[in-house]
Amino acid sequence: MGLLAGKKGLIFGVANEFSIAWAIAKKAHEEGALLGFTHLPGDKMERRVRKVAEPIGAKLITPCDVQSDGDVARVFALAGEALGPLDFVIHSIAFGPREDIQKPFLESSREGFKMAMDVSVYSLALVSRHAAPYMTKGGSIVTLTYFGGERVVPGYNLMGVCKAALDASVKYLAHDLGPKQIRVNAISAGPVKTLAASAVGDFDKLAGLYELSAPMDRNIEREEVGSAGLFLISDLSSGITGEIMHVDCGYNVMGSPGRAIEKVKSLFLAKVQATNPDLAAKLRDDDEIKRL
């Protein structure tokens, strides 16, 4: 019997098979959960979600506009009919106008800020509010955040400010829903190549930085975020709420570049060696290089 046998959940935010929400949904399905899915309005997004959700026997596949209170209410009414009482909800939703995300936060527009906060932050409160009446035996709500809400990550810009607000929302919602035995937590994942991540500037450089600096000397795999999500929606995490769980190979604990300096030095010398062995030898012997 699977870890989630008999459990039922609703997944917001699957865009395709590379989505973090899908990694969690796949793990949940493998452990016996019955699932419903929402998708962005539009035939293209519906086809993408149906491609992955129908083969695992999804009980519900429906569009959802999280900027509409009425549409979110409609989705949960459908989920109640298709699934009955819910045990968990995955919220993997974030959006901001590309032109605002890809410029310094200082230059973000008022309208872009409002839209990004509405979709990326307020939607968690809205989804949680409508989920609560259907989670009659308690349960788990999990959202996806990022380290850019805790520290400045160049290139993350407006979305970093949104993630900071999302992190605070997790804590306040955990307090509000705690008496109902509904837990609210977030996963702060390292860089994962997704459709949403393509809008963030310098994504590849960011992933490379994790490989250089994280204590485990690598970036994460998508499946590792799925496993963390499985833990948070299962009864194994029954005493955990209001937490930001980092799944980033330890990157968040670092206070300096750590071993990255030596790695960069080695890569640099290897490139010089390939084109100018004499210069590479000189650099290895140079006291200034050794002090780096």
Residues with catalytic function: 146, 156
Assign 3-class secondary structure to the chain.
CCCCCCCEEEEECCCCCCCHHHHHHHHHHHCCCEEEEEECCCHHHHHHHHHHHHHHCCCEEEECCCCCHHHHHHHHHHHHHHHCCCCEEEECCCCCCHHHHCCCHHHCCHHHHHHHHHHHHHHHHHHHHHHHHHCECEEEEEEEECHHHCCCCCCCHHHHHHHHHHHHHHHHHHHHHHHHCEEEEEEEECCCCCCHHHHCCCHHHHHHHHHHHCCCCCCCCHHHHHHHHHHHHCHHHCCCCCCEEEECCCHHHCCCCCCHHHHHHHHHHHHHHHHCHHHHHHHHHCHHHHCC
CA atoms within 13 A on the CB side of 106: 2
Of 12, 16, 10, the C-alpha closest to 194 is 16
